Amino acid sequence: MNTAALDTPPMTSPLGTTGMEISRVGFGAWAIGGPDWAVGWGAQDDADSVRAIRHAVERGVNWIDTAAIYGLGHSEEVVAKALAEMPEGERPYVFTKCGQVWAPNDRQSKLRMGRRESIVAECEASLRRLRVERIDLLQMHWPAEDGTALDEYWGALLDLKAAGKVRAVGLSNHNADQLAAAEAMGHVDTLQPPLSALKRDAVARELPWCLAHDTGVIVYSPMQSGLLSGAFSAERVAGLAGDDWRSRHPDFTGENLTRNLTVAAAMKPVAERHGVSQAAVAVAWVLAVPGVTGAIVGARSPAQVDGWVSGANLALTDEDRAGIAAAIREGSAGSGPIPD
């Protein structure tokens, strides 16, 4: 094992046909949205968030993934604050998402909207919060649930790209059939699906589709919201604050939790063999899946960044992957096929 390689900046890969060369890990800004909204992660200090972002960039991470809904705009504002004092040439790419809005008088609301006028207004609002003239990647967060057809919201995204408001456009949480429908109108630059050793559904259809169509793939939750990080136990889960969405999610309760922690335990000897954290192993497992360009990894402090950034350069062995696959099969953990 060449441990020196793990101290170097993350390797990079071209993001589909966008012209952007991205580090194989990106900074996920969901948790820095803070508490007091539908899927908040509990209390978060903005100063810690700013330090975490800047530290990630110092370590070689060259993109940030956020969304308008994270903290109801707050995550985008924190990202802007973190980038404000960076020289233009040193700033990372900024990716955000639209299509989820909230009622002004209800911070717990989360509405999946797709009307053209909503998408355009959301883009303008994100530009203001991020304090940028152009968004590097704008993604539709989820399929619309307000009766709007895919062709309306995808057409709006394509028009925003043509107008120069955004550099690239993509879809998040969409299936292969929806990708094909969008591609018929205009190229899908990127897909953002969930992917981890516990959630493998995209391996079956979406990743092969993206490989065949030169669509970049940035996956989210490679550590399954912390379950695979090595920092969780049944006792810690029991102590999660009530304003942390994980405290009530099925992945963190009952038999599911037991199965998921079994897979996490299988990553511990792998981490020890390579001299890295379990978080880095979880990230490396995802990056080894064919079709994956990069992985979005959250952090709430600089120390958390240091825990996973080396996963970008970690090459798992056949023995490593076999041990993790055996734990998945034996525990019937998660969903989706196990990649070769």
Q: How far apart are CA 79 and CA 92, in angstroms?
A: 10
What's residue 26's pLDDT?
A: 98
Residue 137 domain-assigned (yes or no):
yes
- Mention every residue, 6+ apart, whose C-beta is less than 8 A from residue 17: 187, 189, 214, 216
The pLDDT, as a whole number, for residue 335 is 81
Handedness of CA 129, 134, 136, 138 (dihedral sign): positive
The four Cα atoms 222, 227, 229, 235 give a dihedral, to 10 degrees, of 170
Does a structural domain hold residue 7? no
Rg of the Cα atoms in the chain: 19
Please state, in angstroms and rounded to a whole number, the distance separating the CA atoms of residues 339 and 325: 9
Asked if 278 and 271 count as a contact pair (C-beta separation under 8 A), the reply is: yes
Q: What is the pLDDT of residue 135?
A: 98
Question: H or E segment at 64?
Answer: strand 63-65
Please check whether residue 337 lies inside any domain of the structure: no
Token pair recorded at residue 175: 């299936």
Catalytic residue among 70, 93, 153, 220: 70
CATH number at residue 163: 3.20.20.100
Q: Is residue 224 part of a domain?
A: yes
- State the residue range of the domain holding 84: 20-232+277-314
**Residue whose pair of structure tokens reads 């992985």 in the numeric block:** 295
Please indicate, yes or no, if residue 47 is contained in any of the structural domains: yes
Whether 6 is covered by a domain: the verdict is no
Q: What is the three-class DSSP state of 298? A: strand
Active site residue 70: yes
Closest C-alpha among 44, 57, 66, 71 to residue 10: 57
What is the per-residue burial (b if ≥16 Cβ within 10 Å, else e) of 2-33? eeeebeeebebbebbebebebbbbbbbbbbbb
Contact between 210 and 18 (Cβ < 8 Å): no
Half-sphere exposure of 5 (CA within 13 A, CB side): 9
Nearest-angstrom CA–CA distance, 87 and 96: 21
Domain count, the chain: 1
Give the single-character DSSP code of 92: P
Note whether residue 155 is domain-resident.
yes
pLDDT of residue 334: 74
Taking the alpha carbons at both ends of the chain, their separation in whole angstroms is: 22
**pTM of this prediction?**
0.92
Q: Give the pLDDT confidence score for residue 42 in this predicted structure.
A: 81
Q: How far apart are CA 281 and CA 291, in angstroms?
A: 18
Nearest CA to 130 out of 189, 188, 70 is that of 70
Calculate the alpha carbon distances from 69 to 44, 144, 227, 322 in Å.
Answer: 16, 14, 23, 38
So what's the pLDDT on residue 333? 65
Residue 262 lies in a domain: no
Segment-wise mean pLDDT, segments of 10 residues, the chain, 340 residues: 66 98 97 88 91 97 97 97 92 97 88 97 98 98 97 98 98 98 98 95 97 98 84 69 72 76 90 94 97 96 95 96 90 79
Residue 223 confidence (pLDDT): 87
H/E run at residue 268: helix 254-274
pLDDT at residue 36 in the model: 84
